[in-house]
Structure 1
Amino acid sequence: MKYFKFLVMICFIGMLFSCGGEDDICESGEGTPRMKVSFKNLANDKVRTLDSLYVAVDYGSGKVQLGKLTKIDSRLIPLRVDDSPYTDVYFRLADKGTESHVRVTYTTKTKYVSPGCGIKKSYENLSSELIQSNPVLKVEAGQNQIENEDKTNLFLLF
């Protein structure tokens, strides 16, 4: 019995000291940032709120629907994290409506953050090209690097 109490005490102390700290979760904004897209009116160049927006992204294995948002003035879109130099993004205003195709090209850099977060990718030299132009009529560049999700990287003009 004496050894049993000693064994239980050693296990309890071991569990107490083995609890991890902040390495388990990456929640302080250290992960790979997303591209911020905002919307403008082509006629007067003023920021616009959209009634609805459907977004799809091609991550290399076909389109992935990111879903619908309503009454929005900006949208955060994750870009590809493989070694591809571009990401194809598709925008629609209606569920079965016509779709605009925008190709976003960039260069990437990687940086090790922590065991919980892994590697953070940063995007530089962003440029965009409007391939299919309906309903988006024009694209306008914002900040040409993605360091965080605060500044707009791409403006879509409707």
Structure 2
Amino acid sequence: MKYLKLTLLLFVFSSVISCGGDDDICENGEGTPRMKMMFKTGGKVTKLDSIKVFANLGNSIVDFGWRTKVDSVFVPLRVDDSPYTEIYIKTSAKKDSSKIRVNYTAKSIYVSPGCGVKRNYENLNSVLLLSNSVKSLEQGQNFIQNEEKTNLYLNF
């Protein structure tokens, strides 16, 4: 009976230790990357005093809040089957939002059992639908595989 308890305890202990592994947690930026937007004034990259970003991510419009003294922001794109994401930009509480539509082709890539599938975006093309504080757009890198490169420049 003593050996049975010891064997059972050893089995339970080894099972607990073996649970979990490197694939259980999605680390090192393996998830779906966000789009990087930078700001320009007079053709030069600049910091904005304040900016508020909203994005229509399918079910609702998500408010990412006010940011101050920033030269770039990261915005997630839709992960459903929609071929575009609409982004709204405000630089003042008193002004109306500028509206940008980002068109793309989404591609799903399997990462790991813990992470599952991530989305990469190709053939990015941005269109300024409503110009208020944003005067024009400049295309950066036209695909998103990570968050290192700038994909869109907003001219103010």
With normalisation by structure 1, the TM-score equals 0.93
Structure-2 residue corresponding to 1:105 = 103
Indicate the RMSD between aligned Cα atoms, in angstroms: 1.2
Query: d(CA) in 2 for partners of 1:4 and 1:77?
Result: 55
Residues 1:150 and 2:151 are matched in the alignment: no
Structural mapping, 1:67-106, within 5 Å: 67-106=65-104
Structure-1 residue corresponding to 2:16 = 15
Give, as a single letter, the amino acid of the residue that structure 2 aligns with 1:127.
N
Query: d(CA) in 1 for partners of 2:153 and 2:90?
Result: 15
Query: d(CA) in 2 for partners of 1:95 and 1:116?
Result: 41
Structure-1 residue corresponding to 2:112 = 114
Residues 1:24 and 2:24 are matched in the alignment: yes
Q: How many residues align?
A: 155
SS of the equivalent of 1:23 reads helix
Which structure 1 segments of 5+ residues have no match? none
Query: d(CA) in 2 for partners of 1:86 and 1:104?
Result: 5
Query: d(CA) in 2 for partners of 1:78 and 1:7?
Result: 48
SS of the equivalent of 1:129 reads strand
Structure-2 residue corresponding to 1:129 = 127
Structure-2 residue corresponding to 1:52 = 50
Which structure 2 segments of 5+ residues have no match? none
Question: 1:96, CA displacement in angstroms?
Answer: 4.4
Question: 1:14, CA displacement in angstroms?
Answer: 2.3
Question: 1:24, CA displacement in angstroms?
Answer: 1.6
**Percent identity between the two aligned chains:** 54
Contact 2:95 2:132 in 1 (8 A): no
Structure-2 residue corresponding to 1:40 = 40
